[in-house]
Amino acid sequence: MPEPTVVTATAERGTVVAADYFQSYSVVGLLALVGVLFVAVAFGAGRLLRPVVPTPEKLMTYECGVDPVGEGWAHTQVRYYVYAFLYVIFAVDSIFLFPWATVFAADGYGATTLVEMFIFLGFLTVGLLYAYKKGVLAWT
Protein backbone atom coordinates (compact mmCIF):
# COMPACT_ATOMS: atom_id res chain seq x y z
CA MET A 1 0.00 0.00 0.00
CA PRO A 2 1.57 3.34 -1.01
CA GLU A 3 2.04 6.00 1.64
CA PRO A 4 0.15 9.32 1.29
CA THR A 5 2.26 12.13 -0.06
CA VAL A 6 2.43 15.62 1.39
CA VAL A 7 2.02 18.39 -1.14
CA THR A 8 4.87 20.88 -0.91
CA ALA A 9 5.82 23.99 -2.80
CA THR A 10 9.32 25.29 -3.04
CA ALA A 11 9.84 28.98 -2.40
CA GLU A 12 12.88 31.20 -2.09
CA ARG A 13 12.87 30.88 1.69
CA GLY A 14 12.49 27.12 1.80
CA THR A 15 9.82 24.46 1.57
CA VAL A 16 6.21 25.30 2.40
CA VAL A 17 3.96 22.45 3.41
CA ALA A 18 0.28 22.58 2.40
CA ALA A 19 -0.73 22.04 6.03
CA ASP A 20 1.08 25.24 7.01
CA TYR A 21 -0.66 27.09 4.20
CA PHE A 22 -4.14 26.08 5.39
CA GLN A 23 -3.18 26.70 9.00
CA SER A 24 -2.83 30.41 8.21
CA TYR A 25 -6.38 30.38 6.81
CA SER A 26 -7.60 28.73 10.00
CA VAL A 27 -6.29 31.72 11.97
CA VAL A 28 -8.28 34.07 9.72
CA GLY A 29 -11.37 31.89 10.14
CA LEU A 30 -10.92 31.84 13.91
CA LEU A 31 -10.65 35.64 14.03
CA ALA A 32 -13.77 35.99 11.88
CA LEU A 33 -15.64 33.65 14.23
CA VAL A 34 -14.50 35.62 17.28
CA GLY A 35 -15.66 38.84 15.59
CA VAL A 36 -19.10 37.40 14.80
CA LEU A 37 -19.44 36.08 18.36
CA PHE A 38 -18.44 39.47 19.78
CA VAL A 39 -21.15 41.24 17.78
CA ALA A 40 -23.74 38.58 18.66
CA VAL A 41 -22.94 38.85 22.40
CA ALA A 42 -23.14 42.66 22.26
CA PHE A 43 -26.55 42.58 20.53
CA GLY A 44 -27.82 39.90 22.93
CA ALA A 45 -26.66 41.83 25.99
CA GLY A 46 -28.29 44.98 24.64
CA ARG A 47 -31.56 43.16 24.09
CA LEU A 48 -31.53 41.71 27.61
CA LEU A 49 -30.48 44.88 29.43
CA ARG A 50 -32.45 47.64 27.71
CA PRO A 51 -35.80 48.76 29.08
CA VAL A 52 -38.81 48.04 26.88
CA VAL A 53 -41.48 50.68 27.40
CA PRO A 54 -43.46 51.14 24.19
CA THR A 55 -45.51 54.33 23.99
CA PRO A 56 -47.59 55.67 21.11
CA GLU A 57 -44.97 58.35 20.45
CA LYS A 58 -42.23 55.75 20.16
CA LEU A 59 -44.29 53.63 17.78
CA MET A 60 -45.12 56.58 15.51
CA THR A 61 -43.26 56.88 12.21
CA TYR A 62 -40.46 59.45 12.35
CA GLU A 63 -39.15 61.15 9.23
CA CYS A 64 -36.43 63.82 9.32
CA GLY A 65 -37.78 65.70 12.33
CA VAL A 66 -41.21 66.25 10.79
CA ASP A 67 -44.24 64.69 12.41
CA PRO A 68 -46.20 62.62 9.90
CA VAL A 69 -49.45 64.57 9.90
CA GLY A 70 -51.50 65.70 6.95
CA GLU A 71 -50.77 64.78 3.36
CA GLY A 72 -47.82 62.73 2.31
CA TRP A 73 -46.98 65.27 -0.41
CA ALA A 74 -44.96 68.31 0.64
CA HIS A 75 -43.83 71.19 -1.54
CA THR A 76 -40.15 72.05 -1.44
CA GLN A 77 -38.79 75.27 -2.82
CA VAL A 78 -36.60 74.99 -5.87
CA ARG A 79 -33.92 77.29 -4.49
CA TYR A 80 -32.70 74.53 -2.17
CA TYR A 81 -32.02 72.33 -5.18
CA VAL A 82 -30.26 75.17 -7.00
CA TYR A 83 -27.89 75.71 -4.07
CA ALA A 84 -27.25 71.99 -3.83
CA PHE A 85 -26.59 71.81 -7.56
CA LEU A 86 -24.16 74.75 -7.44
CA TYR A 87 -22.38 73.16 -4.48
CA VAL A 88 -21.97 69.87 -6.31
CA ILE A 89 -20.64 71.63 -9.41
CA PHE A 90 -18.02 73.61 -7.50
CA ALA A 91 -17.11 70.67 -5.26
CA VAL A 92 -16.42 68.50 -8.29
CA ASP A 93 -14.45 71.31 -9.89
CA SER A 94 -12.35 71.71 -6.77
CA ILE A 95 -11.43 68.04 -7.08
CA PHE A 96 -9.63 69.00 -10.29
CA LEU A 97 -7.73 71.78 -8.53
CA PHE A 98 -6.06 69.69 -5.83
CA PRO A 99 -4.20 67.24 -8.10
CA TRP A 100 -3.16 70.13 -10.33
CA ALA A 101 -1.71 71.99 -7.34
CA THR A 102 0.31 68.96 -6.23
CA VAL A 103 1.68 68.22 -9.69
CA PHE A 104 2.26 71.83 -10.76
CA ALA A 105 5.70 72.17 -9.15
CA ALA A 106 6.92 68.76 -10.34
CA ASP A 107 5.63 69.19 -13.90
CA GLY A 108 8.07 70.32 -16.56
CA TYR A 109 5.39 72.42 -18.28
CA GLY A 110 4.91 75.09 -15.62
CA ALA A 111 3.68 77.97 -17.80
CA THR A 112 1.43 75.76 -19.93
CA THR A 113 -0.31 74.16 -16.95
CA LEU A 114 -0.68 77.56 -15.29
CA VAL A 115 -2.43 78.99 -18.35
CA GLU A 116 -4.68 75.93 -18.63
CA MET A 117 -5.70 76.24 -14.98
CA PHE A 118 -6.51 79.94 -15.39
CA ILE A 119 -8.69 79.06 -18.38
CA PHE A 120 -10.45 76.44 -16.25
CA LEU A 121 -10.96 78.92 -13.41
CA GLY A 122 -12.20 81.47 -15.97
CA PHE A 123 -14.95 79.06 -17.05
CA LEU A 124 -15.92 78.60 -13.41
CA THR A 125 -16.01 82.35 -12.88
CA VAL A 126 -18.19 82.87 -15.96
CA GLY A 127 -20.62 80.25 -14.66
CA LEU A 128 -20.72 81.85 -11.22
CA LEU A 129 -21.29 85.31 -12.71
CA TYR A 130 -24.08 83.93 -14.90
CA ALA A 131 -25.78 82.39 -11.85
CA TYR A 132 -25.40 85.68 -9.98
CA LYS A 133 -26.82 87.68 -12.90
CA LYS A 134 -29.84 85.35 -13.16
CA GLY A 135 -30.53 85.93 -9.46
CA VAL A 136 -29.99 82.32 -8.51
CA LEU A 137 -27.72 83.25 -5.61
CA ALA A 138 -30.26 85.64 -4.05
CA TRP A 139 -31.96 83.94 -1.10
CA THR A 140 -35.14 86.06 -1.19
Q: Are residues 83 and 45 in the same domain?
A: no
pLDDT interval class at 4 (50, 70, 90):
low
- What is the tens place of the pLDDT at every residue in 45-74? 999 999 888 888 777 776 666 666 666 676
Any domain includes 59? no
Same domain, 39 and 83: no
pTM as predicted: 0.37
What secondary structure letter does DSSP report for 5?
A: P
For residue 108, the 8-state DSSP code is S
- Residue pair 136/82 in contact by the 8 Å Cβ criterion: yes
Output the pLDDT for position 101.
73
pLDDT in tens, 17-39: 666 767 778 888 999 999 999 99
Give CA–CA dist 89/130, Å, rounded: 14
Confidence check: pLDDT of 3 > 70:
no
Measured from the Cβ of residue 128, the count of other Cβ atoms closer than 10 Å reads 15
Decide if 1 is inside a domain. Answer: no
Rounded alpha-carbon distances, angstroms, from residue 124 to 7, 96, 104, 117: 64, 12, 20, 11
| Residue 43, amino acid | F
For residue 34, being part of any structural domain is answered with yes
- Asked whether residue 3 is assigned to any structural domain, the reply reads no
**Is residue 121 located within the same domain as residue 83?**
yes
Domain that holds residue 122: 78-133
124 belongs to a structural domain:
yes
Residue 26 lies in a domain: yes
Q: Please tell me the total count of domains within the chain.
A: 2
Q: Could you tell me which residues come within 8 angstroms of residue 46 by beta carbon, excluding any fewer than 6 positions away?
A: none
Grade residue 107 by pLDDT with cuts at 50, 70 and 90. Answer: low
Classify residue 123: in a domain, yes or no: yes
Using pLDDT thresholds of 50, 70 and 90, give the confidence band for residue 16.
low
Residue 73 placed within a domain: no
